[in-house]
Amino acid sequence: MDKILLIDDDPSLQLALQHLVTEAGYAFCCAGTGREGLELIDAERPDLVLLDVMMPGMNGYDVCTALRERGHRVPIIFLSAKGDIVDKSIGFKAGGDDYLVKPFDNSELLLRIEAHLRRHKGDLAFARASAQNGYTTVGDLSISFGKYLVEKNGQPLDLTSKEFEILALLAANPGQVYTRQQIYEHIWGEGAVVDASSITVFIRRIREKIEDNASQPKYLLTVWGVGYKFAE
C-alpha cells in the first residue's frame, strides 16, 4: 500500500486529507512542522509527500530543498494558497514535482497523486532496467550492467555481487545522491532490516577496487552528511 505524508500545520486540513487519502486506499501519516516532516520521512518512508508552503519556522520550499539535498527522490506536491507564477517557480526550483493551489478539488488532488506515484514507479523501473541491461564508460572505468562486469583499462575487476549491485545502482544514475538507507533498500529490498553502517564498508571495498586512490576517489563520491553518488 502506497503511503502519503502530509506536512502542514493546519489541523483541519490534516484531518480532511487523512479521510480523503485513506478512503482512496492509501496509508497516511502527517507532520505539523517542516522539521518534524524531515524527521518523519526517514521513519515512515512515504511514497509521496504533500507539502504546505507557508509554515512557521521552516517553510515548504526549505523542506523540499533539504529533502532533495539528502537524496530523497519521493514525489513532492506543494499545497499553497499562493498561486502566482513566482511562487510556483520557487517551488519547482526547490525540487517540487507539482503545485496545487488551495482551496483545491479533492478529485484533482487524488488524480495528481495517482499520476505522480505511477510516474515515480516508472522512473524506478527504468533505472533498474538500465542497471540490468546497459553499459557505461567513465574515464578508464567501464561497467557492463547485465554481465556483472567492471573493467579498468580493459582489465576485469573482482567485485562481489553485492559490491557490483551497489556500484551499478549509483552508476546508472550519475549525480543522483543516495542515502545509505536508500542504497540498502534498493539492493536488499524494503522488507530487509536496514544495516546502514554496512553500506560504508561496501563503499570502502568498492573504492579499493575501482579507484586509483581510495582515499581520494574520483568515481564513487561522498556527499557529506547525506550519502553517496557516482561522478557525472
Count other Cβ atoms within 10 Å, centred on residue 222. Answer: 14
Rounded Cα distance between 177 and 226, Å, is: 8
pLDDT band for 83, please (50, 70, 90 cuts).
Answer: low
DSSP 45: -
Cell of 37: 516532516
**Which tens digits make up the pLDDT trace of 163-186?**
888 898 898 888 888 888 888 877
- List CB contacts of 43: < 8 A, sequence separation 6 or more: none
CATH number 3.40.50.150 is the correct assignment for the domain at 134-230: no
**Which tens digits make up the pLDDT trace of 115-155?**
888 777 766 665 555 555 577 888 888 888 877 889 999 89
Q: Where are the domain boundaries for CATH 1.10.10.10 in the chain? A: 134-230
Q: Where are the domain boundaries for CATH 3.40.50.2300 in the chain? A: 3-126
Architecture of domain 3-126: 3-Layer(aba) Sandwich (3.40)
Cell of 57: 519556522
Residue with cell 545502482: 169
Q: Is the pLDDT reported for residue 73 higher than 90?
A: no
Rounded Cα distance between 103 and 21, Å, is: 16
pLDDT band for 202, please (50, 70, 90 cuts).
Answer: confident
